């Protein structure tokens, strides 16, 4: 059982943790997800859109019949998830490579400063993980749905 003192302290701390309160603070926090462009769910350039369509066609494999539109929809979701995941991995690799290549031609003192820069870059790398996990989750859901419809078709 929580003591009265701890309960009061928790309530006091919760009042401090309510997020931004000013209009300016709310506007700034609303843009957090856009910092690295990973929150743009379905907006792709034309080349990426072509890659998604090719991958969708491979996954759907010319589905026909009662479930064709559902299979096409799930294939598209899976293709988008795979492309987004690969883009996030590429961004993460570029970020790390830029840090490493800068460090190779530096003096010892500059390397120490570069380590500090890398330490500051780590939160960005970790935030990318959230978007990659979201894309992976969408892909797993599409795979489960495709497996389920495949099982339904086999048993029909």
| Phi, psi torsion values for 40, nearest 5 degrees | -75, 80
Express each pLDDT in 76-89 by its tens digit: 999 999 998 998 88
Q: How far is CA 56 from CA 36, 53, 114, in A?
A: 26, 5, 42
Token readout for 18 is: 């309510």
106: alpha, beta or left? (left if phi > 0; alpha if psi -120 to 50)? beta
Average pLDDT value for the chain: 80
Q: What is the pLDDT of residue 80?
A: 92
**pTM of the full structure:** 0.61
43 pLDDT above the threshold of 70? no
The tokens describing 147, both together, are: 């497996």
Q: Is the model more confident about 98 or about 89?
A: 89
CA dist 57 and 142 (Å) reads 15
Residue 139 pLDDT level (bands cut at 50, 70, 90) = very high
Tell me the CATH number for domain 71-156.
1.10.287
pLDDT digit string, tens, across residues 2-40: 898 998 888 888 877 777 888 888 888 777 666 555 555
């Amino acid at each position: 059982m929580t003591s009265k003192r701890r309960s009061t302290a928790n309530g006091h701390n919760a009042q401090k943790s309510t997020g931004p309160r000013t209009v300016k603070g709310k506007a700034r926090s609303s843009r957090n997800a856009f910092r690295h462009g990973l929150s743009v769910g379905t907006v792709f350039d034309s080349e990426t859109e072509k890659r998604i369509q090719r991958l969708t066609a491979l996954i759907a494999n010319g589905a026909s019949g009662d479930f064709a539109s559902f299979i096409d929809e799930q294939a598209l979701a899976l293709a988008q998830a795979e492309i987004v995941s690969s883009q996030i991995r590429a961004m993460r690799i570029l970020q790390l490579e830029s840090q490493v290549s800068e460090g190779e031609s530096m003096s010892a003192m500059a390397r120490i400063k570069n380590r500090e820069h890398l330490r500051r870059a780590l939160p960005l790398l970790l935030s990318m993980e959230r978007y990659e996990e979201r894309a992976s989750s969408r892909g797993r859901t599409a795979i489960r749905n495709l497996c389920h419809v495949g099982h339904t078709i086999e048993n029909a």
